[in-house]
Amino acid sequence: MNMENFKKWVCKAIEMEEKGKKFYEKAAADCDQGLGKEIFSMLRDDELKHIERIKEIEKALNQNQGLANACALPDDHQDPGNIFRKIAARSQVHKACPSTVKALKTGIDFELALVKFYEDALEKAQDNLEKQFLKHMVAEEKGHYDLLEDLSFYYEDPEGWAIEQDKAGLDGA
């Protein structure tokens, strides 16, 4: 996309990430303990990192600097399944707070909207750095979606979740 459209996109991206941060902040605050609180707190922190990155891009664009430094991303992407398994293993509370169940559906929908937002921008991207940044953001938001799906499955069917994680068969093999 051209630079003017990219600047507009950056403003919208900051707005969406801010909404996500506030949503996860409230979801974490509404549940006083357990796995849901920990996952929502982690997602809030991730959204804050996204906001900071995007603001760096905005600053570079406003100062007519190149995207090279602003779009550089740390390679800190982790497998959402591994993250969830580690958090679930140390969690002492295995039931969802009433607010968590509702927040899960909203969070899943929100993450899908963010994935679409970044994928739409990726289709219009022209600069390689811009494309690289957007691909990274798509991957991170898909990771958030996967975490929320895992949490939902964990609360709905803890035994089924455990069996799937162990990749155990019911035939004893």
Give 3-47 pLDDT, tens digit per residue: 777 778 888 999 999 999 999 999 999 987 778 888 899 899 999
Average pLDDT over the chain reads: 80
* Per-residue pLDDT at 173: 47
Residue 68 identity (one-letter amino acid) = A
Burial state string for 56-89 with b = 16 or more CB within 10 A and e = fewer than 16: ebbebbeeeeebeebbebeeeeeebeebbeebbe
* Per-residue pLDDT at 165: 72
pTM of the model: 0.80
Q: Which structural domains are found in the chain, ordered by start?
A: 3-165 (1.20.1260.10)
Residue of 140, 133, 139 lying closest to 6 (CA atoms): 133
Q: 155 versus 25: which is more confidently predicted?
A: 25
Task: Return the C-alpha torsion angle 107, 113, 118, 119, nearest 10.
Answer: 130
